[in-house]
Amino acid sequence: MRHKKKGRKLGTDSSHTKAMRKSLVGALFTNDRIKTVEARAKEIRPDVDKIITWAKKGDLHSRRLAIAALGDKELVREVFEKVEQGMFGDRQGGYTRIMKLGNRKGDNAPMVIMELVSEPVGKKKKAKKDDAKAEKKAAPKKTAKKAAPKKEEAKVAEDVAEELSEDQAKMMEAEAEGAKPEDAKAEVAAEAEAKEAKEEAKENAKAEEEQKEEAEKAEEAAAKDAEAAAAEKEEKAK
DSSP string computed for 131-162: HHHHHHHHHHHHHHHHHHHHHHHHHHHHHHHH
Position 4 in a domain: no
Are both 98 and 140 inside the same structural domain? no
Last residue of a domain, one of 69, 96, 116: 116
**CATH number of the domain to which 58 belongs:** 3.90.1030.10
Are both 78 and 112 inside the same structural domain? yes
Question: CA torsion angle for 155, 160, 161, 165 (degrees, to 10)?
Answer: 140
The predicted model scores a pTM of 0.50
Position 49 in a domain: yes
Under 8 Å between Cβ of 48 and 88 = no
Are both 103 and 23 inside the same structural domain? yes
In angstroms, what CA-CA distances link 59 with 29, 48, 66, 77?
A: 20, 18, 11, 12
In angstroms, what CA-CA distances link 27 with 5, 58, 62, 102?
A: 25, 21, 20, 22
Are both 134 and 192 inside the same structural domain? yes
Last residue of a domain, one of 68, 84, 116: 116
Residue 147 has pLDDT above 60, yes or no: no
Residue 110 has pLDDT above 50, yes or no: yes
Are both 127 and 233 inside the same structural domain? yes
104 DSSP 8-state letter: P
Q: Range of 78's domain?
A: 14-116
Per residue in 21-44, pLDDT (tens digit) is: 999 999 999 999 999 999 999 999
Are both 141 and 194 inside the same structural domain? yes
Are both 144 and 160 inside the same structural domain? yes
Position 8 in a domain: no
Last residue of a domain, one of 116, 140, 163: 116
Structurally, how many domains does the chain consist of? 2
Are both 76 and 129 inside the same structural domain? no
> What confidence score (pLDDT) does residue 144 get?
47
Are both 101 and 156 inside the same structural domain? no
Per residue in 42-68, pLDDT (tens digit) is: 999 999 999 999 999 999 999 999 999
